[in-house]
Chains A and B, each alone.
Chain A
């Protein structure tokens, strides 16, 4: 492995971690498909932020795309509560519309955004080593994507640690949480913004659909073994890291998409875990 390979794997691991942490709460709240919707819907947000700000600067893209992610959750809830559309159809309707708009914008403004249809689906994690930056001039240099992902990871860890009680109670027992004065709605939106941010940051590296694999896969595997939330969070991170390492090895062996291979490894890990659980637990 040379340093490029290492940078790619490190970036993949950072992305896997920022998805696994909020992903655990999504899986526990039965909102995995809302995560799917958010991860598709950030696309038009990213493109519009590109076009409006005229730059790739993360400072503009992140809030713009995260806003699109939030818009999706609000729209889905509005369809369900106000128009009483069944939940599966409201999710399916909203995310396909936003993603289609995103693809149309990408096609129309390819030159301005340096995004193309394929990068939207696969991501471009193989190119992260070509975009290095250092925080201090002449200081330690690492891929831009890795900086951003690590920054978000730090934020997520802080939010989850400080807000653990609120997130935990509003996930497992919303009624009790409300009774002791914890705002379930507030923590819902905190979670949704964590998912949106994770989706935006991961989007460029792994593409729309594979964000879903990272959001739901490691937490789903962890939930097979863990009976307590802290253990589930920890296991999800471990499985996320494993998937990245093995996924990268398979991808370089087959000369195929890295993000796709990571998703396949997640599937294989899940299948193994099912077998182990059936035999030993």
Chain B
């Protein structure tokens, strides 16, 4: 297992360049990706990443050798050109946004492929490895690359730190940003330049085809965990670096494996993991929340039946058989049993020889729900002028969500009422 510690301790000199390089690239594009994600322009990032290819090839043709400065310059120019053309096509309504993006993406990429194959057939010996821009060449990064990545990440970090307020405003609500006097056009253009810049540098790690993932996946994952832009930027940076690190690890362990696709797979795993597991917004917690809600509604509906039976018979805490409960209101047998069991555990119901009755705390709870139901019915009648026979269904839904504060307001608004639209008693709050 020596190679694992070699990787972790960066014992290999190439690792000392590759790992920091990949971390910088992934962190940087993840942070910039947050803004493109929030502006719902993730696919522009996709178009740009495909569009930088011809720029790189032209830089090589003009310069005759592989030089990262010229590559970056060429990539910036062709990337920005495609952004401008997409903007023009969309604004002038010649093409819809999605068509414009798909068209520019494939045409620029096609041009890149033509130039790349043209260069390859020219037989210039120094072109070898140019095609690594297609899928990235993380394993062959050198110290010059590393320096450039360091400088660009620092620049991007500083720009984001100083202009965070402006950037977030144009990302969330650009008309508001305009109305309070922010230079929206400048900020948006700067964001576009930053996007193109981070893509132009980032393609060295994952290549033009998969670069979009480095912008989208960490931002999407981070968005699931937080609502604060600062936390989102930090989280996205961490997620990006994590995927870069693990991608580099895989390609170190299995040298024939391409690094770029593995980084993308790792980033996607984090994104899908967040989509499923994140608290509140994640799929699982949504399912749990919905189940809890359904359970709560079930319990409250059962308690109401007991109250109604008490009310009709004039006794309090009358014992009822399960079959009689089912006659009052339709539940599936299974749900009814489940609800009764939970209520017994909560000590709202007690069971004597198969007959169920409210406990005293159960009666208080049942009364609360019936009270909310009837208050809402009365409110609908008084304020929305609905007929008494139209108010019940709405109250069925609202009774489960009315908070004590709203209850108090309703009470004041309706003048401490005692009779609901169906001429039944509204239970009083105290007792």
Contact = CB atoms under 8 A, between A and B. Distances in A.
A150 to B, nearest CB: 24
B103 A267 contact: yes
Interface string A92-108: 11001101110110011
A77 to B, nearest CB: 14
B103 A33 contact: no
A108 B257 contact: yes
Interface stretch (B24-32, B65-73, B94-102, B398-406): B94-102
Query: Which secondary structure dominates where chain B touches chain A?
Result: helix
A30 B96 contact: yes
A96 B216 contact: yes
Given A89-B220, A254-B118, A97 B107 contact: no
Contacts of A207: 113
B369 interface: no
Interface stretch (B156-164, B205-213, B372-380): B205-213
B244 interface: no
A271 B103 CA distance: 11
Nearest to A209: B109
A93 B135 CA distance: 17
B113 A260 contact: yes
A213 B105 CA distance: 8
Interface string A241-279: 000000000110011110111111011001000100100
B258 A103 contact: yes
A270 B103 contact: yes
Nearest to B44: A88
A92 B216 contact: yes
Interface stretch (A79-87, A134-142, A164-172): A79-87
A100 B102 contact: no
B94 A36 contact: no
Given A96-B212, A216-B106, A264-B107, A83 B275 contact: yes
A146 interface: no
Interface in A3-59: 27, 30-33, 35-36, 40
A32 B98 contact: yes
Contacts of A40: 209
A215 interface: yes
Contacts of A93: 213, 216-217, 220, 268, 271
Contact of A260 (B37, B110, B212): B110
A92 B99 contact: no
A117 B210 CA distance: 13
B42 A89 contact: yes
Interface residues of A, number: 60
Interface residues of B, number: 57
A85 B107 contact: no
Interface string B104-131: 0111111111111110010000000001
Given A36-B105, A122-B113, A217-B107, A101 B265 contact: yes
Query: Which secondary structure dominates where chain A touches chain B?
Result: helix
A31 B98 contact: yes
Contact of B110 (A100, A103, A263): A263
Residue of B101, B109, B112, B265 with highest tally of chain A CB at under 10 A: B109
A233 interface: no
A121 B209 contact: yes
B220 A259 contact: no
A157 to B, nearest CB: 23
A274 B112 CA distance: 22
Contacts of A231: none
A104 B110 contact: no
A198 interface: no
Contacts of A224: 94
Contact of A259 (B99, B110, B219): B110
A99 B117 CA distance: 22
Given A89-B37, A100-B268, A32 B101 contact: yes
Contacts of B258: 103-104, 107, 117
A253 to B, nearest CB: 10
Interface in A183-221: 207-210, 212-213, 215-217, 220
B262 interface: yes
A101 B117 CA distance: 25
B23 interface: no
A262 B114 CA distance: 9
Contact of A209 (B37, B96, B106, B264): B106
Residue of A92, A217, A250, A262 with highest tally of chain B CB at under 10 A: A92
B261 A103 contact: yes
Contact of A255 (B98, B121, B134, B275): B121
A256 B117 CA distance: 5
A91 interface: yes
A117 B257 CA distance: 12
Given A91-B43, A103-B135, A33 B212 contact: no
Interface of A: 27, 30-33, 35-36, 40, 79, 82-83, 85-86, 88-89, 91-93, 96-97, 99-101, 103-104, 107-108, 117-118, 121-122, 207-210, 212-213, 215-217, 220, 223-224, 250-251, 254-257, 259-264, 266-267, 270, 274, 277
Interface of B: 37, 40-43, 45-46, 50, 94-99, 101-103, 105-118, 121, 131, 134-135, 209-210, 212-213, 215-217, 219-220, 256-258, 260-262, 264-265, 268, 271-272, 275, 283
